[in-house]
């Protein structure tokens, strides 16, 4: 009973504010004592995570399918309906009919949605396949902007760019018409996505990036590290994790998850399926995710074996008849047994609290310089929620660190922030620099943002 109520509350919170509410609702409702969920979604949620499935719009009319979907999962990924050929079949003419069917179904059930995918070398409509150079770059960025804007506020995480690295040992980018527009096409796509939907987590997603020693894994890792160091807006890495005899699960998978997480991004297992669905391997994948605090969700690539893109391998958790397989039991047990630490919503402080008494020397008689920076806030408000972008500008001297405080009106609360550390979530909320934006040159500006519930009104920020 408690689980059912807890799950309903969590689903309601998810329906209201999407992914941002997930962590917050976890914090509010996490049971004080261990409890065992009876479905994948409820059990994952008790661990501060989601458990999702790839969904096909044309299966939503299959009652057996939707019964399992609605009972077991609290996140969905449209399997094909948000791809470029589906959403922009003719240049400049967008079609969201099938994607909307999935998004509306998910929202009606309080499930979050992973968007898949904004920029990809594959599944391009004919008009895009025939483009190159700056015209293609512009068309790609327009596609990212239009689709992310259309779904603004409804997508927990976007696979902004999919499968941009080559297979094999080169560690190189995959050759494609998009790659030939210039090596910076990926970061350009991420910047366009952030501008269009500041509240969505932005992921890079790929396959054969599970084995830590694989050149492709290292290449993606180096890109993400570079993006984080330069402030390119990336929040998460998706490991597709299509495991089969040629590309098997390996025991260094946990190292891969934790190594990406250590870069300061969330890690999501986005398209999990395993040839013949061995229970032990499914269990190991779940245990690995639960062992890494920033591994915040798992999605299986289909529900029943008959729904799979490679159904002959029977790689999923339910039989074609809809029965739970041994792998299902293993996953549920692993979720219920796993660590209880939900992923943090913001990076935890890196300095431990002092263990000795603070120094007793009197404060300096001259106050520290003030007014060394200024901050401005712009707010995008919708009924019940908002996104704020904050610009911090250094004065006539460079900053080595910065802090700003913003006072929210009563009833408004911050649910997540990006490119800043945050303390507090209502009333006066304090934001401080993260590593990569601590240095601001004289007269230069950096930006950070946050998402919230309620009505923000006109916000102003102090800066020091
Ligand atoms: O290939 C497995 C996945 C690898 N990672 C990216 C994912 O987006 C990809 O998903 C698969 C879908 O599961 C398939 O369903 O992507 C394929 C190609 O986009 C999908 O296949 C397509 C067929 O190519 C089309 O002929 C077909 O009309 O599925 C379509 C709908 O059934």
**What's the pLDDT score for residue 4?**
42
Which of helix, strand or coil describes residue 235? Answer: coil
Residue 2: which pLDDT band, with cuts at 50, 70 and 90?
very low
Residues 47-103 have pLDDT tens digits of 999 999 999 999 999 999 999 999 999 999 999 999 999 999 999 999 999 999 999
Q: Which residue has the higher pLDDT, 69 or 421?
A: 69
Q: What is the mean pLDDT of residues 293-301?
A: 98
* From 163, 187, 287, 447, the catalytic residue: 163
pLDDT above 90 (res 170): yes
Q: Catalytic site residue 163? A: yes
Q: State whether residue 200 is helix, strand or coil.
A: coil
Q: Is 286 helix (H, G, I), strand (E, B) or coil?
A: helix
Say how many residues make up the chain: 464
Spell 101-137 as b/e; 16+ CB within 10 A means b: bbbebbbebbbbbbbbbbbbbeebbeebeebeeeebb
| Measured distance CA(223)–CA(237) in Å, rounded | 11
Gap from CA of 310 to ligand 1 centroid (Å): 10
Q: CB neighbours of 80 closer than 8 A, spacing ≥ 6?
A: 56, 86, 123
- Over residues 320-355, the pLDDT tens digits come to 999 999 999 999 999 999 764 555 554 444 444 444
Q: In angstroms, what is the span from residue 219 Cα to ligand 1's centroid?
A: 25
Q: Are 258 and 239 in contact (CB under 8 A)?
A: no
Least confident window among 135-139, 236-240, 432-436? 432-436
pLDDT above 60 for 361: no
Q: Residue 293 has what pLDDT?
A: 96
Question: Which atom of ligand 1 lies closest to the CA of 240?
Answer: 5
Q: Please work out whether the CB of residue 372 comes within 6 Å of at least one atom of ligand 1.
A: no
Beta carbon of 271 within 6 Å of any ligand 1 atom = yes
Confidence at residue 448, expressed as pLDDT on a 0 to 100 scale: 77
CA angle 236, 188, 376 (to 5 degrees): 80
Least confident of 84-98, 299-313, 351-365: 351-365
What is the structure's pLDDT at 1?
A: 33
For residues 21 and 102, give the distance between their C-alpha atoms in angstroms, rounded to a whole number: 20
Q: Is 46 one of the annotated active-site residues of the chain? A: no
Q: Is 29 in the pocket of ligand 1 (CB under 6 A)?
A: no
* Alpha carbon 172 to chain centroid, angstroms: 25
Residue 19's pLDDT is what? 41
State whether the beta carbon of 309 lies less than 6 angstroms from ligand 1: yes
CA angle 320, 322, 325 (to 5 degrees): 85
pTM here?
Answer: 0.72
Q: How far is the CA of 62 from the centre of ligand 1 (A)?
A: 20
């Amino acid at each position: 009973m408690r689980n059912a109520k807890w799950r309903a509350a969590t689903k309601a919170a998810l329906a209201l504010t999407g992914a941002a509410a997930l962590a917050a609702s976890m914090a509010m409702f996490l049971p004080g004592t261990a409890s065992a969920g009876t479905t994948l979604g409820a059990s994952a949620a008790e661990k501060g995570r989601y458990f999702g499935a790839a969904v096909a719009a044309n299966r939503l009319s299959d009652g057996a399918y939707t019964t399992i979907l609605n009972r077991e999962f609290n996140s969905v990924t449209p399997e094909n309906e948000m791809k470029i050929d589906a959403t922009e079949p003719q240049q400049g003419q967008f079609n969201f009919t099938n994607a909307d069917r999935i998004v509306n179904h998910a929202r009606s059930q309080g499930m979050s949605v992973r968007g898949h995918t904004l920029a990809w070398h594959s599944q391009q409509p004919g008009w895009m396949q025939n483009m190159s150079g700056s015209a293609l770059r512009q068309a790609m960025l327009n596609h990212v902007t239009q689709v992310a804007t259309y779904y603004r506020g409804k997508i927990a995480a976007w696979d902004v760019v999919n499968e941009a690295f080559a297979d094999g040992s080169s560690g190189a980018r995959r050759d494609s018409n998009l790659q030939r527009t210039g090596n910076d096409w990926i970061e350009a796509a991420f910047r366009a996505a952030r501008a269009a939907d500041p509240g969505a987590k932005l992921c890079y997603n790929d396959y054969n990036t599970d084995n830590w020693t694989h050149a492709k894994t290292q290449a993606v890792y180096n890109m993400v590290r570079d993006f984080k160091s330069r402030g390119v807006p990336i929040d998460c890495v998706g490991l597709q994790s299509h495991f089969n005899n040629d590309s098997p699960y390996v025991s260094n998978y946990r190292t891969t998850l934790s190594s990406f997480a250590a870069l300061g991004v969330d890690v999501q297992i986005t398209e999990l399926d395993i040839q013949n669905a061995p229970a032990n391997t499914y269990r190991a994948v779940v245990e690995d995710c639960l062992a890494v605090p920033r591994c915040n969700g798992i999605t299986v690539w289909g529900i029943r074996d008959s729904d799979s893109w490679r159904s002959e391998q029977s790689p999923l958790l339910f039989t074609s008849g809809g029965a739970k397989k041994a792998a299902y039991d293993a996953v549920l047990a692993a979720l219920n047994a796993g660590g209880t630490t939900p992923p943090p919503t913001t990076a935890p402080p890196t300095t431990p609290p002092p263990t000795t008494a603070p120094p007793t020397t009197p404060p300096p008689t001259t106050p520290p310089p003030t007014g060394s920076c200024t901050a401005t806030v712009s707010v995008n408000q919708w009924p019940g929620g908002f996104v704020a972008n904050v610009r911090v500008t250094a004065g006539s001297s460079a900053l080595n660190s910065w802090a700003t405080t913003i006072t929210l009106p009563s009833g408004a609360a911050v649910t997540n922030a990006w490119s800043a550390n945050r303390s507090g979530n209502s009333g006066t909320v304090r934001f401080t620099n993260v590593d990569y934006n601590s240095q601001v040159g004289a007269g230069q500006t950096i930006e950070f943002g946050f998402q919230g519930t309620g009505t923000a009104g006109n916000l102003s920020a102090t800066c020091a």
